[in-house]
Each structure stands twice: as structure tokens, then as C-alpha cells.
Structure 1
Amino acid sequence: MELTINPQTKISQLLEIDRDLVIKTLIGLNKKFSRLKNPLLRNLLVKRVSIADACKISNTEIADFMWSMKQIGFKVTDDTSVENNIAVLTAAFQEPLDYLELDVRPVLAQDKDPLKEILAAIKKLEEGQGLKLVNAFEPLPLIHLLVDKGFSFRVEHPEPNLVIAYFSKAGSIADETVTIPLTVPAADNDQFDRLLKRFDEHRIIFLDVRHLEMPKPMLAILEQTPSLVAGSALFVYHKKIPVYLLPELEKQGLTYVFKTIGPADINMLIYKK
């Protein structure tokens, strides 16, 4: 395998090489990695999770993780130091007046992803209020996401398999710049048609997610976006504008536009400039 890995390598990069072998090997190392077998959790989280993050979540030594990957053909860098890009923000944590508490352990016990419930809770936060998230492991992917949105955090481990993460936003929690989900953008039919003409039909991937239950449309779209390059586009048939998806598209450097066809019928064009 040509990929040389280090603690900052994303888990998604490993899975792109040989998903089944990597997952099987990691489960042999630590049974907590069996979560990677769940397509929903895997597709939604691994793009944000580095090897260092995964080791911290699963309580695995980075050296052991690297050794296991080396056994199946990955090249391992000699430098196994870990850069912590978010720990510094804990010093800026400001205790809010009170907390909205959300326990996501029952959701995880059903092998479901709690992101929708968490984002809904964030949206409900009032000025001066923070989020108290009760979890079975340290939610590093969520921490990365909310830090990007301007939140600070602190984490407590009161007992084994119990992690409490506190999230706070300096100033007004209701600041529009960090509102989640985003305000629904307006469809622009004329712009959509003009942009569509720029792409050769052989460079367009067509994807119909109207028949899928939430959050499968989002996952199906995110499976296709990594292949987009300049001059190509993803044409999505959707029932609505997927507001929870938009921040992830922007993070990938992608642009999008919508066209209204009718009730519960939206066309979406995603492309890279």
C-alpha cells in the first residue's frame, strides 16, 4: 500500500484503501472499533476522525494502532507525535448561566447516529445557555464541528464509559453566524439552468435520494462528493433542501444551487469551481 500514515491521517483514508480489511483488523485490535461496521456511523463520522482521535475515543494506544496497520501493508511514519488543534480552546471556556442536557447513549445503543438530535438541541439554545452532552465516549468529531462554529468546550470523565461534554458560546448563543441548521437558501431556477449548461453530460453524476429515509440522503450524497473535481458536477433529485448537509459541502470547498420543480421535489447541483 502506497499510503504512508501518521496520527493525523483520517480514518476515511484507510477505509478507501481496503475498507473490509481495515475494519476487520481494527476490531481484532479493539472491539470498540466494531462501530465502523455500521454504515451510518461510519460514513458520517470517519471523514472528521483522525487516527489520533479514534485512538482517544476507543482508548487504544497509537503505537498499537500503527503496528496493526503496518501488519496489513500500510507504511507508518516514524513521527507519531500528536498535534492537538482544539485543546487550546478549552482555556477559553466560559461557563454559561445554565445547560440544556442531552443524553445520546440511548440513540447510540440503537446503532443510530445522534447528530440530528444534537444539532436540534444546539438550535434550541437560548442566550447564555450551553449544551451538556452525556455520551459513552469523548465526541471528538462533534467537538471539531462545534469548534468550527465558534463554541468552546470542556470534557469530564466521571466514570468508565461515561463522558460529559460541555459546550459554550461566548456572547450570545443565538448569534446568527453560528445558528445550526443554516437558514434555508432560496432556490434559483435561472441560475441552476445556466450552470447546468456548463457541464458536459458525461461529467455529471445523477443521484436520486427522494426514496430514502433520513439521514440516508445526506450519506448517499457524501459518498459521491469526494470524486468531484473542477468541470464535474453532482445532480441530486431531492425532496427538500438538505440544510444539515450544506456546512459539510462548504467545508469540502463545494458550491451548490437549487431548482424548485414542485412540492417535495427539488433539484440540486453540487460542483467544484
Structure 2
Amino acid sequence: MTEYLEVDVRPILRAGGEPFSMIMAAVESVQPGHGIRLYAPFKPVPLFDVMANKGFAHSTTEIGSGEWQILFTPMDTPPSVLAPTAQASDKWQESKVRLDTRELDPPEPMVKILAAAEKLGPGETLTAFLGREPVFLFPQLEKRGYNWLGGFLPDGVTYELTVRAPS
């Protein structure tokens, strides 16, 4: 039976914080063969591929009031490629649009990125730089059929997001 390290990011997100580094610290500290039990105020779909790349399968349970428990259980062989909503073999065009939204207050970055994405042609991309991981943007992109790749730059502060329009 798998033992799980409990990680509750609900208070961090409610306070406007970014829990990604806390989750990754838990991944690094978890004992081999053990998993992570994550509590979140929404279903963290973008995290599923990140964790799969780290060697964890996931299962989700809504625990009420829109909150979720996610069990990340170790897999035998971790995948080698991280691409949150894209196939590893996909070829992405160079970004047509570059947006710097780091100085904007939420929800302005999301509004600006979605508006710019609507102007993209099939398969075209845009790159945006944000001051935090845009967790609330991901479901909106998915709903509209966009793919994305993203992650923090080496500065640890800037989140670079590339969005591709449906082909």
C-alpha cells in the first residue's frame, strides 16, 4: 500500500500565492515508492502532466465545494518528455505575438492573453511572460481548444507561457 505525503495548497492559493515551488519541494522530499496527496481549491489539470514527467500517475476526487484531493502515485517508468497539452512530436511555429504581462494585476494578464490568442491563425503561437503561474488561465485555454507549454524561467519569478491556436 502506497504511503502519501500530504500537501495542502488551498491556503496558499486563497492568499494569492503560488504553490508550485512547494509542490516541487514535496516531490523532491518524498521517499521512493511513496506518493503525494494534494488538496487544491480547483482541479489542477496542468499539474497532471508535470507530475507524470516526474514519474507520478494521478487520480482525482472532488471533496466538495469545488475542492479536490489528488493522489499522485509513483509509476514504474516516468515519461521522458514534458509538454502540458501538446504531443512531444508536435512542431510549434515561432511565436507571432510576445506579451509582457508581469506588471498587470489579475485578471488582466488572462484577459490580454485570451484576447491575443483569439487573433491567432490556425497553428500560430503567442508567448506571454507573467509574474506568476496562470493556473486559472489553463482551463480557459483548454475550453477554447488551445494547447500550451509553460514554466518558470531560471530567474524563478517569470513564468513563460506559449499558447498555440488550434490547427
Superposition TM-score, scaled by structure 2 size = 0.50
Q: Answer 1 or 2: which has greater strand percent.
A: 2
Superposition TM-score, scaled by structure 1 size = 0.33
Relative contact order (C-alpha < 8 Å, sep 6+): which is higher? 2
Structure with bigger gyration radius: 1
